[in-house]
Structure 1
Amino acid sequence: MINRSGTAHYEGLGKAGKGRLNTQSGVLTEARYDFGARFENEPGTNPEELIAAAHAGCFTMALSFALAGTGRTDGTLDTKAVVTLVQDGDGFTITKSALTLVASIPGIEQAEFDEIVAGAKVNCPVSKLLKCEITLDATLQ
């Protein structure tokens, strides 16, 4: 079992509040997050972009290992995830994570590529965690 951690500290309440995020690895150290960073595109981070980065990274690594499992040793994978946050009554809900993949895998046939990509989409741990629609647009170059 592997455990990873992150922390959030928030001072003040509502729109006036200011927060800081930290990760166990130190990649995020006192990273700003607040209303402005989340809803008004001000500097800082927000939970949705962190989820998007986690989903893109997890899916891409799962796909990389699945392709390596077929004996392949070369290729490139570029994935973007767009997480959608919508108003839901008095709160908000994440309704979708849209993955867009551009891959270059020498010698792979389209049908095999499609099958491996579909498996990585449903089997990456972050996909399993998310309770929203997950779409995937995969392009093999």
Structure 2
Amino acid sequence: MDTGEYTDIRIVQDLPSFHDAELCGIEHDPETRSLELRFRRVGGEVELLRFSGVIGQRMVDFAGQNVASRLLISPRYAFTSAEVRTWVQWINSRDDSKAPAISEDKGEEYVSDFRAGRRVPFVLEPSCGAELAVLCESVSLKR
């Protein structure tokens, strides 16, 4: 994966809108615990999101067309404890088995980690196609 010119999402002043952007590329490297997503926005611009220190991830319904409704990225989106518990359980589940529920205390611990910048949750809510959630140590943007 190309590692040049990425900016930590926490310091990006003008985060572009990913509404109706198409997820058009994925590169996953389990050895380095990294994931890169390439999006083509409505105006044709291509943006890359790089996830480092991936703790967990899940994607379903990746198809020929994968359009984002919205991206939820901490700290730009303030995840509630209930949302965290839902998404972390979903990341750890599979189509044929549901992971154990995340306790309220563990959910609060995750929220505390997010606020302190120790972990970053990311959720791609789809208009169509791929739904994705990632829990990682950092997210960077490359334009």
TM-score range, shorter chain: under 0.3
Of Structure 1 and Structure 2, the greater helix share is in 1
Over alpha carbons, which structure has the higher Rg? 1
TM superposition score normalised by structure 1: 0.24
